[in-house]
Amino acid sequence: MDLLNTLVEKGLRRELPTREEALAVLATSDDQLLDVVAAAGKVRRQWFGRRVKLNYLVNLKSGLCPEDCSYCSQRLGSKAEILKYTWLKPEEASQAAAAGVAGGAKRVCLVASGRGPTDRDVERVGKTIEAIKEQNEGVEVCACLGLLSDGQAERLKDAGADAYNHNLNTSEATYGQITKTHTYADRVDTVQKAHAAGLSACSGLIAGMGESDEDLVDVVYSLRELDPDSVPVNFLIPFEGTPLAKEWNLTPQRCLRILAMVRFVCPDVEVRLAGGREVHLRSMQPLALHLVNSIFLGDYLTSEGQAGQADLDMIADAGFEVEGAGTTTLPAHRSEQEAARGCGSGAAGGSLCGSAASTDAPGCGSACGGCSGHSEHEAPAPVQAEAGEVRSDLVAVRRRGAGTDLAPNA
């Protein structure tokens, strides 16, 4: 296809595709899918080889959020039966993080529900970062705490944070249909604050909320303009008890086309396959590794992912390798830009956000629907769920790890 040849050439040159080209990727047929994956895979390998970065989520404070993000199990008025608890102590968070690091995670993502942190919260998270880094030498730490006030990003940076996550989630035109308690501009402002403080910015999207192809392209182009180091792509998992509980709009093929489009628009950026991959991609997950260079290990914030060992086996079986702590994630030209901002993230100096978008803290902008997977103990997910149904059988609420007495899944 001339389209794919053009997109590969542009990706290798870090040149922005046209909007028409990005929309054309989303409009390709299932018969063309493997060609699309192969083309985007060339761009992925140019900038990231066959490395896969592992990230691990620690939910510092779960539920009871005052924001009304429709996709989130922790939202105001949510009836989802998730774990609810207040702040973990630094030693509890450090213990949870250690499980992920032991499983191969290079980055730990600290997430707390809420509109945004108080200054006391920032101090609390700073102590948690210190405890984690004392126990795990060289680990990268990303914070995801919601909307930031002036000076808070600088304080997190001084406390040892390497990155900050805050997702745009969807296009500016449709944002008001998803959330009423804060604005799209609020989210952009927080990403800019993180950048200005020298933190590695991480910002992504949620697909599957009923948006159009144009909305998906709009948000990805907005992300390219913001220039984050990491772009997490979440696929909505409709939690029972949330307004989007019946939004089952994705197929594995649709998910792969979305990931390919993101890779073409953001060729040299860490593209992270975040929440929802287990439910929506299912047996097609290995194909996604040809498009993304980063995933989450184990469970998400309020839902379970597949077994950590299953993630490692999948990476190896697909012919990829886990990125080591001594390897810089970003290509050299982006690493140099990051160093110029004074980020200094991690032992490797490549600062990429790991949260994500795969979090369900509305303040951090991540999908609670995007934080869902299925437990290793469940039967495989059925073939496609139908739109208009509530499918609680496809979403396993997290009952282990942080905030419980049970061991985490890492």
Phi, psi dihedral angles at 145 (to 5 degrees): -120, 5
Catalytic residue among 142, 255, 266, 371: 142
Tell me how far apart the terminal alpha carbons of the chain are, to the nearest angstrom: 41
109 among known catalytic residues: yes
Q: Is 371 annotated as a binding residue?
A: no
HEC states along 213-254?
A: HHHHHHHHHHHHHHCCCEEEEEECCCCCCCCCCCCCCCCHHH
Catalytic residue among 124, 187, 272, 398: 272
202 among known catalytic residues: yes
Other beta carbons less than 10 A from residue 342's beta carbon: 10
272 among known catalytic residues: yes
Catalytic residue among 44, 75, 107, 109: 109
Task: Read off the DSSP letter of residue 330.
Answer: S
142 among known catalytic residues: yes
Phi-psi region at 317: left, alpha or beta (left = phi > 0; alpha = psi -120 to 50): alpha
353 among known catalytic residues: no
Catalytic residue among 107, 124, 144, 202: 202
Cβ proximity of 168 and 223 under 8 Å: yes
Q: Is 255 annotated as a binding residue?
A: no
Q: In angstroms, rounded to a whole number, what is the distance separating the alpha carbons of residues 371 and 52?
A: 19
Cβ proximity of 359 and 148 under 8 Å: no
Q: In angstroms, rounded to a whole number, what is the distance separating the alpha carbons of residues 45 and 43?
A: 6
Q: Is 144 annotated as a binding residue?
A: no
Biggest CA-to-CA distance, the chain: 56
Catalytic residue among 69, 255, 343, 353: 69
Give the H or E element holding residue 259: helix 252-265
| Binding site listing for [4Fe-4S] cluster | 65, 69, 72
Question: Could you tell me which residues are annotated as the binding site for [2Fe-2S] cluster?
Answer: 109, 142, 202, 272
Annotated binding-site members: 65, 69, 72, 109, 142, 202, 272
**Catalytic site residues?**
65, 69, 72, 109, 142, 202, 272
